[in-house]
Amino acid sequence: MPLGPFLVEEGGRLTFRIKDTQPGFSFQWRNRRFAVRLADRKLYFAAPVGRVPSTAAGATRRDGALALLACLRQSLPAGWVMRLLPDHRIQIETEQTLEWPATVAALMTPIIALVLCAAPVLDLIDENGLA
């Protein structure tokens, strides 16, 4: 049975639909697009989670947003990175090792853990008007 870039085999094990590729997929959660890529037995996650106001929006609002980002960076789980992209988007990134061959459940478990860990970060971003 096909599942995105994978085929689900007997017992729920995943194989790649196209060999020698770096499969990936994305999903929406809390109005954000989370991108997942699999390479070298690791799952790589990236999601733009907010936006810092430009200087045209007012220095006070921008300064407050940058101060919040500094605090958020210090409170992220180990292995997470928060980046401010050139277009003012705030992006979180992390990676996790995935034993291969994996089952559908083994693929979904770290994805669910990721969104649960991201929830407090998204709450603070939303509450401060940076969504």
What distances in angstroms separate CA 63 from CA 59, 60, 86, 118, 126, one per listed residue?
A: 6, 5, 17, 23, 16
32's CB contacts (< 8 A; 6+ apart) are 47, 48, 49, 122
* Residue 7 lies inside a defined structural domain of this protein: no
* Residue 38 lies inside a defined structural domain of this protein: yes
* Residue 8 lies inside a defined structural domain of this protein: no
Q: How many domains does the chain have?
A: 1
Task: Name the pTM for this structure.
Answer: 0.82
* Packing angle, helices 59-75 and 104-127, rounded to 10: 140
Write out pLDDT tens, residues 22-51. Answer: 788 899 999 999 999 988 888 999 999 999
Q: Give the domain CATH number at 121.
A: 3.30.1460.10
User: 48: domain range?
Assistant: 23-127
Q: Cα 75–45–27 angle (5° rounding)?
A: 115
Write out pLDDT tens, residues 109-120. Answer: 999 999 999 999
